[in-house]
Amino acid sequence: MVGPLPFCLTLPPIEPRSAARVLLAVLVTWCLFQACVGLALGAAGWLSLGGVLPCEATAFFLGLAVPAARRRLALFRIPPPRFIWPEHALVFAFGVLGLTLLIRLATTPITDHDSLAYHLPAMARWYQAHALVTPGPVGASRYAAQVGRYPFDWEVLCTLFLLPFREDFLVAFPNLIAWLIFGLATYLVAVELGAQRIHALTAAFLLLAMPITRKHVDTMHVDLPLGAFFMAGLYFAFACETTRSPAAVAFCLAAVGMVAGIKIPGLIYAALLLAALTIVRMRAPRPARAIDGTTVTLAAAGLLVGAFWYGRNLAEVGNPLGFVRVAVGRFDLLPGFIEPAWLRRTSLASVLDPTSARHWRILAGAVWEQLRLPFVILVAFALALVVPRARAEGPARSSHLRILLGLAALTAAAYCTTPFSGANGAPPGLSAWTGQAFRYAFPFLGVLAVLSALGASRLPARGVGVGIVLGLAAVVAAMTSAVMACAATIALAGIASVAAVRRTPHPMTSTVACGLLCVAVAAGTFWMRARRDVERARAYGGAPEFIATHLRPGETVGYIFSPRSYVFYGKHFTNRVVYVPAQAGNPEGWIDELRGRRVGLLAVGPVREEWRNRSEIAWLSAPGGHFVRVFGTDPRSGPVVYRLR
């Protein structure tokens, strides 16, 4: 984790006027570097701890050897901002919330459908093969093959966190980095466009405190990272007008590459960022310094992470988008068997009937469940943009406000037309499931938070201050939990310890404090890993432990009709797992295939409603057949394991 930091600090900062700007640049560079390392090693077949450690060590010592020490230490030399007490309270709340999420992601196993069905299984296969092998189909539907053609930049980065532990203990830690980038970039965009600092901090906190934002820190869904890099790219685009450094453009292009390489809809948001950069750059003065090597390196790295998966798809299947057909009229631009019309039918724009009161009730309930009070407050302050300015200082430039309003409309439209933003069933229809698809709207929510900060800055200070205090108090009260209380206690203890060390200038005090910190981190890590093991057994049931003890050497775990194939790999990814669908009406041919692939245990379930009448289910339970059930009872409620006779 710390290997690339010295290297990241040697890159040209964007005229650091605050630690927040430098921190954002460092975090974006860190993610970009790690993604490039993972892609390079995975493509070469060296994706292992033995391959990663030399790269990280080289970056560490190379960064230390660069003579630009003053740039490396710029982050620490920038004087801290003078906060007023509400801002101190907000920064403390940020820290407590971040620490809460860290404890949760370290102690809670990942259980959502998509993560267990294809995100984590792809990472487990890369871990076993030490290479970026193409993930296999995740089911029997025609769309299942498309999943293996998704861009996987973020999963590659997260895979690096599997290697040192040989398990998924901190596999979601990069999501916490993305969470921090999301809030930091939103705050900086708001300040860049003229919002008061207290309002920018409040908007960023509300954005990060939304239930849907917190929920996506401990999952392998990649929508939060996409929103984070979209907002980071937006900040660097706006910064082009106020900085004379060419690095602003390079950082924006790096963020564009990350957005495009995280998921296919990211291509739309990457295009929006490039359009915003072009408009702002046309107004900006030309950079005072010539473009140097590090700036070119940033842009080239962004191109690598943005184009890698699309280039691979083009080389392997002749279509950068995988199997999605793209046509103009009757002329096919890109071949494929997945029709765009079918994808459009799953979008929110297609399934929502504006004249149906029932649909609006469902949507309102989903909004309240996933976004809660923070969203209501953000919308209320954003509506204040129609109010005439109450103060003259720091107005947002009208041209930039128009760009921001345009981006709000375009990101909202992009969310509404994104496939699976409205439904995931057959036939598609609006339901409570639609609420979890609000994760596709993270770019829009980030832009909304900036508009909220700008709107709050137009209101009278006294009235908006009371509203902020009451709103934040309600938000914090709604989030309160035992884990958050523990995080607050740890944060207060840390602040008190730092203050005590500063009051005691004796050098031995710092040494003792560092030693105690190391002991505390080691003890906390041990406790969190033990806690995660307990929760893992509770969440995944007994199937992983049974397979670990009953799988014979050389045998393979096969599975069908299971959206949780990740649990079959085992805690340390020691099991070889394959998807083994059968050909209709040919049980003997299926048995021969299973024997040929050395399948000893076959796992099934939880079986969905549409799978229950499939012939394979009947073959498994046939009296005197080729299979004997050795674990589980009901495949409708959980995994059932069969042994092939």
Q: Cis before residue 427, ω within 30 degrees of 0?
A: yes
Picking from 123, 128, 129, 148, the residue whose alpha carbon sits closest to that of residue 138 is 148
Residue 94 domain-assigned (yes or no): no
Any idea of the CA torsion for 440, 446, 447, 449, to the nearest 10 degrees? 130
Buried/exposed 322-331: b ≥16 CB within 10 Å, e otherwise: bbbbeeeeee
**Closest by Cα among 154, 212, 595 to 435:** 212
Residue 281, Cβ density class (10 Å: 0-12 exposed, 13-18 middle, ≥19 buried): middle
Q: Residue 407 pLDDT more than 90?
A: yes
Spatial distance between the Cα atoms of 457 and 467, rounded to a whole number of angstroms: 13
DSSP characters for 209-228? HSHHHHHTTSS--SHHHHHH
The answer to whether residue 12 sits within a structural domain is: yes
487 part of a folded domain: no
Residues 160 and 11 in one domain: yes
| Sign of the alpha-carbon torsion through 154, 426, 436, 111 | negative
Gap between the Cα atoms of 472 and 484, Å rounded: 15
Which residue do the tokens 């958050």 mark?
484
Instruction: Say whether both 187 and 323 belong to one domain.
Output: yes
Looking at mean pLDDT, say which of 222-236, 449-463, 512-526, 620-634 comes out highest: 222-236
Whether 28 is in a domain gets the answer: yes
Q: What is the pLDDT of residue 293?
A: 72
Position 269 scores a pLDDT of 98
pLDDT in the model for residue 448: 98
Residue 419 in tokens: 């496939």
Same domain, 194 and 339: yes
pLDDT of residue 11: 65
> Taking a C-beta distance cutoff of 8 angstroms, is the pair 546, 186 a contact?
no
| Contact (CB, 8 A) for 325 and 331 | no
Asked if the model's pLDDT at residue 290 lies above 70, the reply is no
Contact 276, 249 (CB under 8 A): no
Same domain for 551 and 409, yes or no, is: no
**For all residues of the chain together, what is the average pLDDT?**
87
Same domain as 281, residue 146? yes
When pLDDT is averaged across residues 123-136 and rounded to a whole number, the result is: 93
pLDDT value at residue 415: 97
pLDDT-based confidence at residue 395 (cuts at 50, 70, 90): very low
The letter for the amino acid at 448 is L
Final residue of a structural domain among 416, 448, 466: 466
Give the DSSP per-residue string, 353-394.
-TT-HHHHHHHHHHHHHHTHHHHHHHHHHHGGGGSPPS--SS
Q: Is 359 inside any structural domain? A: yes
Structure confidence at residue 466 as a pLDDT band (50, 70, 90): low
Q: Identify the CA nearest to 560 among candidates 603, 619, 610.
A: 603
Q: 351 and 219 in one domain?
A: yes
* Residues facing residue 296 across a β-bridge: none
Q: For residue 4, what pLDDT is reported?
A: 79
Residue with tokens 């508009």: 451
Q: Among 421, 444, 466, which residue terminates a domain?
A: 466
Amino acid at residue number 623: P
DSSP 8-state code for residue 133: P
Query: Mean pLDDT over residues 61-65, rounded?
Result: 77
In angstroms, the CA 125 to CA 389 distance is: 57
Cis peptide preceding 606, ω within 30 of 0: yes
Confirm whether 475 is domain-assigned.
Answer: no
Which residues make Cβ contacts (< 8 Å) with residue 266, sequence separation at least 6? 151, 226, 259, 260
Distance CA 538, CA 638 (A): 13
pLDDT of residue 393 exceeding 50: no
Highest mean pLDDT among 137-146, 358-367, 390-399, 579-588: 358-367
Phi, psi of 594 (to 5 degrees): -60, -45
Distance CA 212, CA 229 (A): 17
Structure tokens at 50: 């033995």
Structure confidence at residue 469 (pLDDT)? 64
pLDDT above 70: residue 81: no
Q: In terms of C-beta density within 10 A (0-12 exposed, 13-18 middle, 19 or more buried), how is residue 231 classed? A: buried
Query: Looking at the structure, do residues 310 and 396 belong to the same domain, yes or no?
Result: yes
Say if 516 falls within a structural domain: no
Check residues 417 and 291 and name the one with the higher pLDDT.
Answer: 417
Residue-wise pLDDT tens digits, 336-390: 999 988 899 999 999 999 999 999 999 999 999 999 999 999 999 999 888 766 5
> Which of 451, 466, 481 delimits the end of a domain?
466
**Does residue 129 belong to any structural domain of this protein?**
yes
User: Could you read off the pLDDT of 221-270 as tens digits, one per residue?
Assistant: 999 999 999 999 999 999 888 776 778 889 999 999 999 999 999 999 99
Query: Could you count the other beta carbons within 10 Å of the beta carbon of residue 179?
Result: 25
Q: What is the pLDDT of residue 396?
A: 43
Write the burial class of residue 386 (CB in 10 Å: 0-12 exposed, 13-18 middle, 19+ buried).
exposed
Same domain, 266 and 374: yes
Mean pLDDT of 162-179: 96
Helix (H, G, I), strand (E, B) or coil at 48: coil
Eight-class DSSP state of 565? G
- Which residues share a beta bridge with 338? 324
Query: How many domains, in total, are found in the chain?
Result: 2
pLDDT the model gives residue 394: 44
Other beta carbons within 10 Å of 358 = 9
Q: How confident is the model at residue 69 (pLDDT cuts 50, 70, 90)?
A: very low
For residue 569, what are the domain limits?
A: 543-644
Reported as a single tens digit per residue, the pLDDT across 610-640 is 788 888 888 888 887 889 999 998 888 889 9
Task: Write down the pLDDT at residue 9.
Answer: 73
Which two three-digit tokens encode residue 246?
């060419």
Phi, psi of 333 (to 5 degrees): -80, -45
Question: Is there a single domain that holds both residue 460 and residue 548?
Answer: no
Whether residue 394 sits in one domain with residue 292 = yes
For residue 57, is pLDDT > 70? yes
Over residues 326-341, the mean pLDDT reads: 87
- The strand pair at 627-631 and 326-328 is best described as unpaired
Is it the case that residue 42 has pLDDT exceeding 70? yes
Task: List Cβ neighbours of 122 (8 Å cut-off, separation of 6 or more).
Answer: 135, 148, 152, 155
Q: Do the beta carbons of residue 152 and residue 122 sit within 8 Å?
A: yes
| C-alpha span between 573 and 91 (Å, rounded) | 39
- With cut-offs at 50, 70 and 90, classify the pLDDT of residue 425: low
